[in-house]
Amino acid sequence: MPTYTYTSIQAHSGRMIRGRIRGGSRELVVAALKSRGELPTWLDEASPNAPSGAEQGWAVTALRGFRGRRGSPGQVAWFTRQLSTLLASGLPLLQSLDLLARQERSADFRSVLESLGEMVRTGGALSSGLEREPRVFDRLYVNLVKAGEASGLLDTVLERLARFLEKSARLKGRVTAAMVYPLVVGVVASLIVVALTVFVVPKFEQLFLSQLHGRTLPGLTRAVLGISRVVSAHGASLLVGAVMAGLFAFRLSRSPTVRAAGDRWILRFPGVGAVVLRARVARFARTLGTLLAAGVPILQALALTRASTGSPRLQRVLVETERTVEAGESLAASLARASTFPPVVPAMIEVGETTGKLPEMLVRLADIYDEEVDQTVMTLTALLEPALIVAMAIVVGTVVLALFLPMVELIKGLSGG
């Protein structure tokens, strides 16, 4: 009789159990585990030299902890789109999951899909399997799938969820692309300045000492030479200090107080604040509209939307919104009192509530702000490119000018002028 290794969840305590069990077939083993009050999440036939259940459980846990079993947003969006298409075409859920798992090239994400398939194969719900992969599927995703299962419209909900993920990824990509360009230009400019300071400036300093015979150098030249000496002598210490300062700033940025202050500062920053605000409004509207269209109650939808915003200021506004909506006030009236949202947001929401088409109006609002973000990012990028080039030219030109000012004196001396 074959031996199987398994992982299961104890029904009454929720404790994870790993071990080995003998059985005639997989179906009999699953039935035996269920009769003991355990829900199998993983089952495989053990080889004769396989490690014990405890050893294997430890190894699996360590491997999963090391590899993270994460899926990228692109993988999750692709999986959601493909699964909705397969279900809409009439293919059963289990076969759809097995097919997608076989096609997946990433070993980590394939193991996630296989775990979902095993959950469905043993009689569990897809949402239950998603809940066991919190690093891949967030609460918003899980609750939307639960709503789809409860309504019997899982393929429709998955299609809306796929559209939501794709548009959210596209919006995030636009904003990220706008930030990457100045970062790359800044890094290149910094490397050029460091190379000039460390390798070029010291050679000119030796030339000045040997040819100018102690004559006073221009102030700009003295400043550049001083900076060069400091960087050359303490470059390693400065690099370590910069890294430590960056790590400290990163740890500090995770503090709720610092995050709230940074959130306020970003929104007040000229140009950037408008883009960030529009992006947040688009994400808020699309998330809430997708949840309501899937049949999630409005209070639960507001709570899930609040958890997915990532903005302390917007989260405080939505906490107050949940309270007033629960007390019977309309969503539009509640948002109209918050200065965070532009006036057009509560106005369009009021139209949606009046006509009974709030989910559609929220998605339309998100589309409008997506377009505005796209146009604003394109405009800012077009203005930023020449500004960065001019700034880099000024910095490099200042160093070059500082080096050539004494050369004028040296040339005059050699020519007898």
pLDDT for the residue 350 = 92
pLDDT for the residue 65 = 39
The closest alpha carbon to 270, from 384, 395, 186, belongs to 384
Q: 228: Cβ–Cβ under 8 A, 6 or more apart, which residues?
A: 197, 198, 201, 202, 205
Q: Looking at per-residue confidence, does 67 or 271 come out higher?
A: 271
Find which of 21-25, 135-139, 173-177 is predicted with most confidence, using mean pLDDT.
135-139
Contact between 7 and 60 under an 8 Å Cβ cutoff? The reply is yes
Residue 407: pLDDT above 90?
no
Contact between 274 and 376 under an 8 Å Cβ cutoff? The reply is yes
pLDDT for the residue 56 = 42
144-160 pLDDT per residue, tens: 888 888 878 888 888 88
Q: Looking at per-residue confidence, does 53 or 111 come out higher?
A: 111
Long-range contacts of 209-215 (CB under 8 A, 24+ apart): 211/410, 211/413, 212/406, 212/409, 212/410, 212/413, 215/409
- For residue 326, what is the DSSP state? H
Between β-strands 16-22 and 3-10, what pairing exists: parallel, antiparallel or unpaired? antiparallel
Question: What's domain 268-373's superfamily in CATH?
Answer: Type II secretion system (T2SS), domain F (1.20.81.30)
Q: What is the pTM of this model?
A: 0.62
pLDDT for the residue 179 = 74
Confidence of residue 270 (pLDDT cuts 50, 70, 90): confident
What's the 3-state SS for 71-89?
CCHHHHHHHHHHHHHHHHC
Determine what percent of the chain falls in helix, strand and coil, rounding each to the nearest 5: 75, 5, 20
Q: Looking at per-residue confidence, does 297 or 16 come out higher?
A: 297
pLDDT for the residue 61 = 39
Rounded Cα distance, 186 and 188, in Å: 5
Residue 81: pLDDT above 50?
yes
Confidence of residue 172 (pLDDT cuts 50, 70, 90): confident
The closest alpha carbon to 204, from 190, 189, 186, 218, belongs to 218
352-401 pLDDT per residue, tens: 999 999 999 998 998 898 888 888 878 877 788 788 888 888 888 888 88
pLDDT for the residue 228 = 87
Confidence of residue 53 (pLDDT cuts 50, 70, 90): very low
Domain residues of the chain, as ranges?
Answer: 3-67, 73-164, 268-373
Rounded Cα distance, 279 and 376, in Å: 11
pLDDT-above-90 percentage for the chain: 8
Confidence of residue 303 (pLDDT cuts 50, 70, 90): confident
pLDDT for the residue 214 = 66
b/e string for 308-332 if b means 16 or more Cβ within 10 A? bbebbbbbebbeebbeebeeeeebb
pLDDT for the residue 69 = 46
pLDDT-above-70 percentage for the chain: 87
3-state class of 127 per DSSP? helix
Section 93-111 average pLDDT: 89
In degrees, rounded to 5, the angle at the alpha carbon of residue 111 between the alpha carbons of residues 106 and 114 is 120
Long-range contacts of 323-329 (CB under 8 A, 24+ apart): 325/298, 325/299, 326/299
In order, the DSSP letters of 2-42 are -EEEEEEEETTT--EEEEEEE-SSHHHHHHHHHHTTEEEEE
Q: Looking at per-residue confidence, does 91 or 29 come out higher?
A: 91
Cβ neighbours, 10 Å, residue 70: 14
CATH architecture type of domain 73-164 = Up-down Bundle (1.20)
Q: Calculate the alpha carbon distances from 347 to 15, 115, 133, 280 in Å.
A: 49, 45, 39, 17
Rounded Cα distance, 159 and 324, in Å: 32
Rounded Cα distance, 387 and 378, in Å: 15
Residue 7: pLDDT above 90?
no
Confidence of residue 219 (pLDDT cuts 50, 70, 90): confident
Rounded Cα distance, 125 and 113, in Å: 14
Section 182-211 average pLDDT: 82
pLDDT for the residue 39 = 62
pLDDT for the residue 51 = 46
Q: Looking at per-residue confidence, does 172 or 89 come out higher?
A: 89
73-164 shares its CATH topology with 268-373:
yes
Instruction: Supply the mean pLDDT for the chain.
Output: 80
